[in-house]
Structure 1
Amino acid sequence: MSTATTIKEKELFGHPIGLYVLFFTELWERFSYYGMRALLTLYIATSATAVDPGLGWSSKDAIWLYGWYTMLVYVASIPGGWIADKFLGQKKTVMLGGFLLCLGHGVLAIPTTWAFFTGLVLIILGVGGLKPNISTMVGGLYKEGDIRRDSGFTIFYIGINIGAFLSSIIVGLVAYKYGWHYGFGLAGIGMLIGQLVFIAGQKHLKHVGNFLGKSENPEEKEAMNKPLTKIEKDRVIVLLISFLIVIVFWGAFEQAGGLMNLYTDAKVDRSINFASLTEIPAAVFQSLNAGYIIIFGTIIGGFWIWWKKKGRESSSLFKMAIGTIIMGLGYVFMMFASKEAGSVEFGKAAMVWVFLAYLFHTIGELCTSPVSLSFITKLAPVKYASIMMGIYFAATGFGNKLAGSIGESAQLEAYQGTMTMSKEDTYKFTSKDSIKVKKIVDGKKVINDVFVYPIEEDKNFSIKGKVYVENNDVVFKGYKNGEDLGNTFALNDVNDSKENLIQYLNDNNVTADNPYHVNLKFEKDADKAQVVENKGDGKNYGVSFVIEEEQNEQEYKIFQFLTFFTVIFGLLLILFLKKLKKLTHGAEDKEGTINEETEGFELADSKSNS
């Protein structure tokens, strides 16, 4: 499948200049998307009464919203592809999507709840218009059989990841230093730059991405009107099967923005002594995947070229299967991290496990994702080009929703209670801290630092403790001093929570000599904290906690499940590889017949046939 023009295009480094227009457009679009995504679950799960407040949702609910959002972002690619194929063409739909994205990210920078959800909706619509069509335009730059197509997609893919790499670091640090909405705003500036690049580069895209329904080219008119052949139908079938691989792959891989992000924030030792930083913000770790892609993209592509020249199996489906297996093995390192964090009370894992996990995830992604994009443009009938690309991104979206559901299952429902101790009693469990206080002076917002107990400024605090059963009752003791914590809060009598807690502790033989551990989180009611008269009264505090040992065990099980499921799925795919390849009717065998790639610019697998 190709809509490339027969007119000789200007080239740069052996590729059409239009590729680099799309490269920089996508770079900045991904800068905005991944910058915002790096903050998303962290912002949602941050307390609404924190110094830099978030939405105050639980980690479980944060991953739930993340799963739905990332699914809808990609599922919107189906109507986005349909609009391009039936009405506007790819180029105009990309332009429309870009405008919606600029608006969405701009609204997201406004620090209100309505703006947050409005911004998410606009971003969903914008990505739906831009994402499938800009990828299809990359394929349209090359004629059928052009060996440069795969390397063109890898160049494009590297652009995506330069944007993702820069944004996760820059946006993450800006949000850490200045606040969530400054980070969201910076992501929006990135999208605006991308839109300006696309507008300025239109002269290099005149012959690609146009609406074929109004084409004067007789071959394109015929392609849009004639029914699918038997070969085209078989290729559509194998594409739909490949989309199942996509769902499984991204269902495991996309734990990055959800479970992995929250786990890194809570369970990984991120201590550092660099400049003014004492710890690495969790959002910055989202740059690892993109950074690895920039480093290893050409190396992995070169490996597959060498592998192919050796006469070994190197079809797109085979690469996707191998990529799924390698990616899944990355969770072995998260199992090690979970074991290390759970080996001591309130323990944290070393950063090296996260670095290794993302390395394997990235190698798996490089074997799978750019290949699958190119695979679609090879097999999809021209009349359904954007729709098939849209279905691919929808499959990615379903994978993201699967990722959200898996991530949710790793988060235990917290036990809830109400604080019963007086404000003065909290002093012996907490210490004074430097707290930022916002005040309005002469109509201007001023932020001052005060050194005070958190409860005096309605801020959250936590108390670490031990928990066990004694005389058929739950006992809470201070972790260090052993002081009784039973009078600090009362469990809410909802769904027999106290009876369920006692049952769980008894089932695991938890006693005073072998206690489990809790981190009691005390949080002021967000609405009551807005009433100035109530400031510092020490009232209206809720309490939540999970059993640390139970949470560690649950996370370990999820990492273990992700490992076994992806590896077994990849092996089954290899088992049925020959039957699936027959349905392609040699679509990949045509490569290499024309436009041999200039030596030195082979950035990806030059031949994907077996």
Structure 2
Amino acid sequence: MATETANPDFFKSKVLGHPSGLFVLFFTEMWERFSFYGMRVLLINFLTMAIIGVNPGWEWSAENAGALYGTYAMLLYITPIFGGIIADKYIGYRWAVVIGSIIMTLGHASMAFDTEISLYLGLGLLVIGTGFFKPNMTSILSEMYKAFPEKKDGAYTIFYMGVNAGAFFGMMLCGYLAENVGWHWGFGLAGIFMLLGTLQFWLAKPLFGNIGEVPSKEARLKAEEDAKNSTNEEDKRNPFTMWDKILIVITSVIGLLYAINDPLAKIGNIDLFKALEINEKFTGQNVAIIIALILFLVLVIGRMLRYTKVVRDRMIAVIIFAFFVIFFWMSFEQGATSLVLFARDNTQRILSGNSALIFNIVNTILTIAPLLIVSWVLYLLAKQTIKRVFWSNIVLIICFLGVWGVAGWMLNKDWTSHAYEIKYNALKVADIDEKTNQQKKDEKGALVYKYIPVSEAYEANPNDVIEEKTFVIATKETYVVGDQIKVHEEAGGKFVNLTTEQENKIRADYNSKNRTSKIVQAEIKEVRDNQVEITVSWFSILNSFFIIAFASFISKIWDSKYNPPAAVKYGMGLIVMAIGFGLLAFGSYGVQEGVKVSMIWLILAYLFHTLGELCLSPVGLSYVSKLVPARMIAFMFGMWYLAIAIGNKLAAILGGQIENITKEYSLSTFFLIFTIVPIVAGLIVMSLNPLLKKLMHGVK
């Protein structure tokens, strides 16, 4: 058994029973996830926000925003394949992490400028940087524990707590800052912590010894020689033929061009595959991707046929699992697209009185408790390593002072905001169904009307019906009953009160864009008790919170006698997640335009989505490593990530249809799609359990 002297540099100091180097990786991954999820939760919201407002966006359609985000998400799962290869052969894991971090920092900095060119450049840099960073952090961790396999499970548990802590705080703080101050502040905060995380990792170099260094030529040659001399029948070399390489190049090029062409065609009206177009349904890019899929199947089948029956069967099992994982991520990743829009436009996010008080208490606990725990870990790390890596600890302390500062500002703003009921005049008009050209009726048969706020540009008509309407706002401004104020309607039907500076800017924006002003004269009707407006991004933190809360419980079930087969776990994951969408479909059933649904439906949806993720997500990669021979493992891991990439792209494409499907049918119908499809897929994969068990030939 290995002893600690096998790597004395690594084991010189310990925190919570693990080497200090693990917690350097913990914080490095935490800041990277902070920046990644902090940006991710903003992108769709920013792109689809009205171009004129207190916090304007680009006013894209959900379809166009989904096309861009889908390509970004798809490429995030492709570039790590190449980043891992480059690190393995040429630059080592540590340099790969640093290079990736620097490139991602530049990407976040670029996005903070809020211009079209800087946004595209920023997303491109984030894709490239993630390719270097993502695979090599776990590679460093794996190499650190190579001689201590019995400690690896605990190390990965701690590491992934860092992943979820980073995602939690990134979405909470970047989202809050972006929605309450400005988008560039949210994008910029993500970049700042990415930079500081990189710096603390590099300055902690003495803790790692030779781990993750540039591989020597001798080491590479030895690894290749060991593989050639393998006596394991399942590990016999299966070299890529020239035909294999040609197929890989062709399918890769078509896939990359498809990823770029989708947003290019929808946003810029430039179609790289126009020559292949057959009709409106079989567009050029659809024909191209079908060709690429056929060629890819030829490649995979051709390579599989060269293996023995047992190996071939196991690889077929992996392909079946990969196919069903597409359906999971296609639905689960609605959290980055349609659910963001649903939270903004269709969810009641304004709480008053006791509801607001309860939310503020819960949100304070949710914010402070994890920060205290992670700060305590920072204290333990600094206590052990302050002398060896002084400046790395100083950078980490600066990071946490920054997080505490932003969190304190956020909580103070929520606790001290004033609540007012505002009255204004609205024009009452019939709500016309575009299909029938008749006025809509509700479930009881009553005619449906919509109310348009009377803006400063309104020209009176004798036949107009004007009614007094009210809404409630939360603001830091102090008013008394009877005060006259100017308000503006933002995306999702949200009203905001305007300062003189904001009023002048918005009026100038309307004039410059030759649009009719939507500034509304209003009056303070009543001073309310406590009120809080929940940010759109707040709901996204629930996934990370529920993972932290339930991961241990689910893990214990899998370690018990109730541990089901992989196919059943897959089916459970799909079905449990579908229940979340079913609740959203039920909660939004019969809801008319402009009416908000209770936030409880969205909270429950995220709960079931997370439970589904915990059933399915941890299973996949472990089965790839168990079922695939060493000579195909890199290829099959690439294929697995390709399935996830396809799922992410489909998620964004379908999520971008939320406006179209809601307009044509209903919001409830949109969510039913993600209820029915995963349930059917889950039942099918569970029914395949006997076949999959046979194909796996004893692997459990």
The TM tier, using the shorter chain, reads 0.5 to 0.7
Shift of 1:156: 2.4
- Given candidates 649, 653, 672, the residue that maps to 1:405 is 653
Q: With the length of structure 1 as denominator, give the TM-score of the two structures.
A: 0.66
Out of 316-325 and 362-371, give the one that drifted further: 316-325
Residue 336 of structure 1 pairs with residue 586 of structure 2: yes
Measure the CA separation in 2 of the matches of 1:206 and 1:567: 49
Amino acid of the residue matched to residue 256 of structure 1?
G
Q: Distance in 2 between matches of 1:174 and 1:354?
A: 22
Query: Residue 271 in 1 paired to residue 519 in 2?
Result: no
Distance change (3 Å), C-alpha of 1:377 and 1:412: same
Does 2:550 match 1:291? Answer: no
User: In structure 1, which of residues 8, 29, 34 is the aligned counterpart of residue 32 of structure 2?
Assistant: 29
Alignment partner, residue 468 of structure 1: none
Work out whether 1:551 is the aligned partner of 2:644: no
Contact kept, 8 Å, 1:133 with 1:386, in 2: the verdict is: no
Between the two structures, name the one with larger relative contact order (CA 8 Å, sep ≥ 6).
1
User: What does residue 163 of structure 1 align with?
Assistant: 166
Give how far 1:104 is off: 0.7
Does structure 1 residue 571 correspond to structure 2 residue 683? yes
In the TM superposition, what are the counterparts of 1:312-391 in structure 2 within 5 Å?
312-316=562-566, 318-339=568-589, 342-344=590-592, 346-378=594-626, 389-391=637-639
Q: Structure 1 pair 374/118, CA: closer, same or farther in 2 (3 Å)?
A: same
Letter in 2 for 1:100: I
What whole-Å deviation, never above 9, does each CA across 1:563-602 have from its counterpart, x for those lacking one? 2221222232223334435555656xxxxxxxxxxxxxxx
Change (3 A) 1:411 1:227: farther
Q: CA deviation at 1:28?
A: 0.9
Tell me by how many angstroms 1:270 deviates: 0.4
Q: Which residue of 1 aligns with 2:643?
A: 395
**CA distance 1:142–1:45, change in 2 (3 Å):** same
1:154 corresponds to: 157
Which of the residues 325, 329, 348 maps onto 1:250? 329
Contact 2:557-2:563 within 8 A present in 1 as well: no
| Partners of 1:35 and 1:172 within 8 A in 2 | yes
Equivalent residue letter for 2:554: I
Secondary structure, in 3 states, of the residue corresponding to 2:77? helix
Deviates more, 1:197-206 or 1:358-367: 197-206
How far off its partner does 1:382 sit? Answer: 5.8
Q: Larger helix proportion, structure 1 or 2?
A: 2
Cα-to-partner distance string for 1:528-577 (whole Å, 9 max, x where unaligned): xxxxxxxxxxxxxxxxxxxxxx5383432232121222122223222333
Q: Deviations over 1:56-101 (max 9, x none)?
A: 2112211222212211222222222332344334333222211111
Q: Residues 374 and 96 from structure 1, CA distance in 2 versus in 1: closer, same or farther, beyond 3 angstroms? A: farther
Structure 1 window deviating more from structure 2 (73-82 vs 135-144): it is: 135-144
1:23 deviates by: 2.2
**In the TM superposition, what is the alpha-carbon distance from 1:322 to its structure 2 partner?**
2.3
Render the CA deviation track for 1:440-472: whole Å, top value 9, x for unaligned. xxxxxxxxxxxxxxxxxxxxxxxxxxxxxxxxx
SS at match of 2:351: strand
Cα deviation, residue 248, structure 1: 2.0
2 CA distance for matches of 1:150 and 1:327? 26
Give the distance between the partners of 1:221 and 1:586, measured in 2 at CA.
Answer: 29
Is the CA contact 2:41–2:537 (under 8 Å) kept in the aligned structure 1?
Answer: yes
- In 2 relative to 1, CA 164–412 (structure 1 residues): closer, same or farther, beyond 3 Å? same
The match for 1:173 is 176
**Rounded Cα–Cα distance in structure 1 between residues aligned with 2:331 and 2:49:** 25
1:465 aligns to what?
Answer: none
Are residues 1:202 and 2:202 paired?
A: no
Distance 2:337 2:26 in 1: 27
1:61 paired to 2:64? yes
Gaps of 5+ in 1: 414-549, 588-608
Q: Which amino acid aligns with 2:62?
A: S
Q: CA deviation at 1:324?
A: 2.4
Listed one character per residue, the Cα deviations across residues 388-420 of structure 1 (whole Å, up to 9, x for unaligned) are 55544443222110101211232219xxxxxxx
Amino acid at match of 2:684: L
Unmatched 5+ stretches in structure 2: 236-306, 353-413, 418-473, 475-531
8 A Cα contact 1:91 1:210, kept in partner: yes
- Aligned residue identity for 1:352: I
Residue 81 of structure 2 is matched in structure 1 by: 78
Kept after mapping to 1: 8 A contact 2:565/2:689? no
Pick from 324, 330, 338: which aligns with 1:259?
A: 338
CA distance 1:229–1:330, shift in 2 (3 Å): farther
- C-alpha change, 1:145 and 1:22, in structure 2 (3 Å) is closer
- Residue 412 of structure 1 aligns to a residue in which SS? helix
Instruction: Tell whether the 8 Å contact from 2:234 to 2:629 is kept in structure 1 after alignment.
Output: no
1:83 and 1:576 map into 2 onto residues whose CA distance is 38
CA distance in 2, matches of 1:132, 1:200: 21
Answer yes or no: is the 8 Å Cα contact 1:64–1:404 preserved in 2. Answer: yes
Cα displacement (A) at 1:15 = 4.5
**Structure 1: how far apart are the matches of 2:627 and 2:91?**
23
Q: How far apart are residue 206 of structure 1 and its match?
A: 4.4
Distance 1:54 1:567 in 2: 36
Alpha-carbon distance change, 172 to 329 in structure 1, aligned in 2, over 3 angstroms: same
**Distance in structure 1 (CA, Å) of the matches to 2:671 and 2:653:** 14
Cα deviation code 1:343-401 (max 9, x no counterpart)? 44521110000000000111111222234344445556667766655544443222110
CA distance in 2, matches of 1:246, 1:270: 33
- For the residues of structure 2 that align with 1:45 and 1:189, how far apart are their CA atoms? 25
2:556 aligned residue (274, 287, 302) = 302
Structure 1 residue 44 corresponds to structure 2 residue 123 = no
Closer/same/farther in 2, CA of residues 294 and 98 from structure 1, 3 Å limit: same
Q: Is the 8 A contact 2:91 2:215 kept in 1?
A: no
How many Å separate the matches in 2 of 1:152 and 1:362? 22
CA distance in 1, matches of 2:666, 2:602: 18
CA displacement 1:321-342 (0-9 Å, x = unmatched): 4222212221111112221xx3
1:318 positional shift:
4.2
Question: Helix, strand or coil: the match of 1:327?
Answer: helix
In structure 2, do the counterparts of structure 1 residues 241 and 180 end up closer, same or farther at CA, with 3 Å as the change threshold? same
Aligned length: 443
- 1:574–1:211: structure 2 CA closer, same or farther, 3 Å change rule? farther
> Are 1:130 and 2:112 matched, yes or no?
no
CA RMSD, Structure 1 to Structure 2 (Å): 3.2
Question: Which residue type is aligned with residue 263 of structure 1?
Answer: F
Q: Is the 8 A contact 2:568 2:686 kept in 1?
A: yes
- Give 1:120's aligned amino acid: L
User: Residues 199-222 of structure 1: CA distance to partner in whole angstroms, max 9, x if unpaired?
Assistant: 234344446545667353887443
User: What is the match of residue 560 of structure 1?
Assistant: 672
Give me the whole-angstrom Cα distance separating, in 2, the residues matched to 1:383 and 1:16: 32
Q: Is the 8 A contact 2:111 2:118 kept in 1?
A: yes
Give me the whole-angstrom Cα distance separating, in 1, the residues matched to 2:83 and 2:316: 22
User: Are 1:29 and 1:191, in contact at CA under 8 Å, matched by a contact in 2?
Assistant: yes
SS across alignment from 1:272: strand
CA contact (8 A) 2:89 2:220 kept: no
